[in-house]
């Protein structure tokens, strides 16, 4: 019992590199603490990062470099703690606990067509799975990324997106909510891509695998977006057990004890943050 490790104590990683992604988001490359088993980290999992003196925030992993043992976190400056993390400099130590949560069901996704639907900073946790596909060429059959941002100013990962476009068996579609000067791309919500009537509709859903037999949809975005995505998928009768999403409930402990993330029978930090749409249907709408 008490000779077991104290899970509330953070370890420390070193910040190796910081990039400003947009006005709100910075990405941090962090060397994993020695004690951490990086080989077991799965895309979709999250870590508890500490700005000591301010507190802890759950941040999902964006990239894992299994060889260099580094972790990439993209952090939006939305509160006191993340603001403090944004002030950190390369070379600084950052408190870190994890990995926590279930992550995407990677094994079950092998050989599938993956449709990634990301709204705004929802792309952050999904980047880990896109990265996974880049690092493991051929692991998935096809990868399609549908990304929607409020405006071009809210874009993240511009460089990466350019890179992703170059890969074979990969499509990237981007849209912004409202028209803008100098923008010739798609305008409207990201859910449009899921609809037949959209001239630039999803490659996978309408051309590659219209029977949806071998396709999985991964969604991350604000709670309202989930509702619209579900509506769109319902219309085309896309099977609910092939849709996965990530919940972002308020979290404190990350290990199923503090109760903050509790939603129905599930603890988002333990049983999630990744849930299938099927599972979501049995959860109360408390997310």
Partner 1 sequence: MVNWTKITDATRHYLKQVFQSDDLILSYTDSHTPGMMTPVVIRKAEDIDSIILNPICTQNLAVYLSEFFQNDIQTGKPVKGKWYITVKPCDVRSVIQMMADEQILKEHIELIVFDCDGTVTNKNLKELFKSEIRKVDFNDHQAKAETLLNEELTADLSGLYQVKCSDREICSIPAVNEFTFIGERERFEFSGTAKNTAIIQDTLTQEECFEKVSAELSKCIRCNACRNICPACFCSDRCVMDKPKLSVPYITKEITLDQIFQYHLIRFYHVAPNCTACGECERICPQGISLSIFYKYLHRMNKHLFGDESGSSDSDRQKLLSYRFGEDLV
Partner 2 sequence: MDTNRIYKKDMVQVFSALKKLNISVIGQGFDEKQRLVFKKVSSFQELALDEITPLQPVKSFLFPPTEKVFSYAKQDEKYQITPETSPESSEKKVLFGLRPCDVHAIEYLKKFYDGHFPDQPILRYLENTIIIGIACEHPSNACFCTTMDISPISSTGADVFLTPTENFFVIEFLTEKGKSLQSAFSEVLKSSEATDVQWKQNIETETSKKLLEKIEINSIKGQINKAYDKPLWKKYSDVCVACGGCTFDCPTCTCFDMRDVMESKKTGYRYRAWDSCSFASFTLHASGHNPRNTKMDRLRQRIMHKYHYTVTNMQTWSCTGCGRCVRVCPVGINTRSILKDIKEALHE
List of residues contacting ligand FES (CB under 6 A): 251-254, 256-261, 267-269
Contact 72, 41 (CB under 8 A): no
76: which strand partners? Answer: 25
Residue 79 binds which entry of ligand SF4, ligand FES, partner 1, none, with Cβ cut-offs from 5 to 8 Å by kind? partner 1
3-state secondary structure (DSSP) of residue 182: coil
Distance separating alpha carbons of residues 172 and 123, to the nearest angstrom: 12
* All residues at 6 or more sequence positions from 217 whose CB lies less than 8 Å from its CB, including other chains: 115, 117, 229, 233, 238, 242, 243, 244
Q: Give least dist CB 47 to ligand FES, A.
A: 13
Q: Give least dist CB 78 to partner 1, A.
A: 9
Q: Give least dist CB 261 to partner 1, A.
A: 15
259 counts as binding ligand SF4 under rule CB under 6 A = yes
Residue 269 binds which entry of ligand FES, ligand SF4, partner 1, none, with Cβ cut-offs from 5 to 8 Å by kind? ligand FES
Which of residues 105, 188, 239, 264 is near partner 2 by CB under 8 A? Answer: 264
Chain positions 240 to 269 lying near partner 1, rule: CB under 8 A, are none
262 counts as binding ligand SF4 under rule CB under 6 A = yes
Residue among 188 and 256 whose Cβ is closer to partner 2: 256
Chain positions 67 to 126 lying near partner 2, rule: CB under 8 A, are 78-79, 82, 91-93, 95
3-state SS, 187-237, equals ECCHHHHHCCCCCCCCHHHHHHCCCCCCEEEEEECCHHHHHHHHHHHHHCC
Residue 83 binds which entry of partner 2, partner 1, ligand FES, none, with Cβ cut-offs from 5 to 8 Å by kind? partner 1
Tokens of 147: 């990304």
Residue among 130 and 261 whose Cβ is closer to ligand SF4: 261
Whether the bond into 31 is cis, omega within 30 of 0: no
Contact 20, 86 (CB under 8 A): no
* All residues at 6 or more sequence positions from 162 whose CB lies less than 8 Å from its CB, including other chains: none
Among the residue ranges 78-86, 152-160, 179-187, 223-231, the one whose residues contact partner 1 (CB under 8 A): 78-86
Contact 114, 212 (CB under 8 A): no
Q: Give least dist CB 223 to ligand FES, A.
A: 18
86 counts as binding partner 1 under rule CB under 8 A = no
* All residues at 6 or more sequence positions from 213 whose CB lies less than 8 Å from its CB, including other chains: none
8 counts as binding partner 2 under rule CB under 8 A = yes
Contact 64, 129 (CB under 8 A): no
Q: E strand or H helix at 168, and its extent?
A: none
Q: Give least dist CB 266 to ligand FES, A.
A: 10
1 counts as binding partner 2 under rule CB under 8 A = yes
Which of residues 35, 53, 67, 166 is near partner 2 by CB under 8 A? Answer: 53
Q: For binding to partner 2 (CB under 8 A), which residues are involved? A: 1-2, 4-10, 12, 50, 52-56, 78-79, 82, 91-93, 95, 222-223, 248-250, 252-253, 255-260, 262-265, 270, 284-287
């Amino acid at each position: 019992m008490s000779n077991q490790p104290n899970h509330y104590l953070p370890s420390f990683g070193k910040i190796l590199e910081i990039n400003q992604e947009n006005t709100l988001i910075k990405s941090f490359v962090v060397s994993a603490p020695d004690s951490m088993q990086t080989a077991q980290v799965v895309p979709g999992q999250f870590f508890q990062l500490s700005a000591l003196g301010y507190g802890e925030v759950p941040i999902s992993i964006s990239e894992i470099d299994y060889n260099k043992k580094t972790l990439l976190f993209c952090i939006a400056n939305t509160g006191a703690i993340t603001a403090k993390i944004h002030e950190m400099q390369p070379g600084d130590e950052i408190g870190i606990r994890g990995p926590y949560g279930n992550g995407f069901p990677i094994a079950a996704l092998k050989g599938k067509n993956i449709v990634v639907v990301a709204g705004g900073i929802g792309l952050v946790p999904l980047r880990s799975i896109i990265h996974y596909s880049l690092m493991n060429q051929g692991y998935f059959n096809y990868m399609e990324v549908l990304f929607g941002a409020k405006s071009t100013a809210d874009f993240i990962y511009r460089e990466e997106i350019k890179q992703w476009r170059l890969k074979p068996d990969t499509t990237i579609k981007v849209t912004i909510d409202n028209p803008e000067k100098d923008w010739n791309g798609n305008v409207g919500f990201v859910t449009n891509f899921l609809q037949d009537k959209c001239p630039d509709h999803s490659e996978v859903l309408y051309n590659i695998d219209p029977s949806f037999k071998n396709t999985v949809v991964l969604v991350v975005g604000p709670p309202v977006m989930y509702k619209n995505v579900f509506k769109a998928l319902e219309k085309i009768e896309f099977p609910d057990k092939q849709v996965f999403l990530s919940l972002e409930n308020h979290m404190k402990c990350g290990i199923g004890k503090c109760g903050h993330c509790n939603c129905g029978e599930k603890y988002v930090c333990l049983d999630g943050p990744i849930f299938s749409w099927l599972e979501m249907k049995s959860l109360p709408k408390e997310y």
